[in-house]
Amino acid sequence: MTPAVYDWAAKYIWWQTPEEAVLRPQRVMAQVMDLGTFADVCDLEKVAGPDALADVIRHAEPGWFSPRSWHFWHRRLGLASAGAVPAMPVRRFA
């Protein structure tokens, strides 16, 4: 855990305290990937690396990404070709 994760948690996970948010670092990274400033996203890529970011995408829960971010990160990380981005996770109710 780097100090940057705590800073991102404080900045991007407004509904929890940073101490609570850092317990789910993938959620913090997803928020930065979805809503982050260019500088924060660049820092995240340096700190986490492409494998960790790909893991965030692969295990994303519904609501973590906007459609635009979902498509961008799949292409950026080489997880999908143009026109072949998988469907976003969705909430299902019984």
pLDDT digits (tens, 9 = 90+) for 17-39: 999 999 999 999 999 999 999 99
DSSP strands (E only) in 1-94? none
Cα–Cα dist 81/30, whole Å: 21
Q: Using 50 as the pLDDT threshold, list the residues of the chain that sit under it.
A: none
Structure tokens at 78: 């080489």
pLDDT for 58 equals 96
pLDDT for 1 equals 61
Q: Model pTM?
A: 0.92
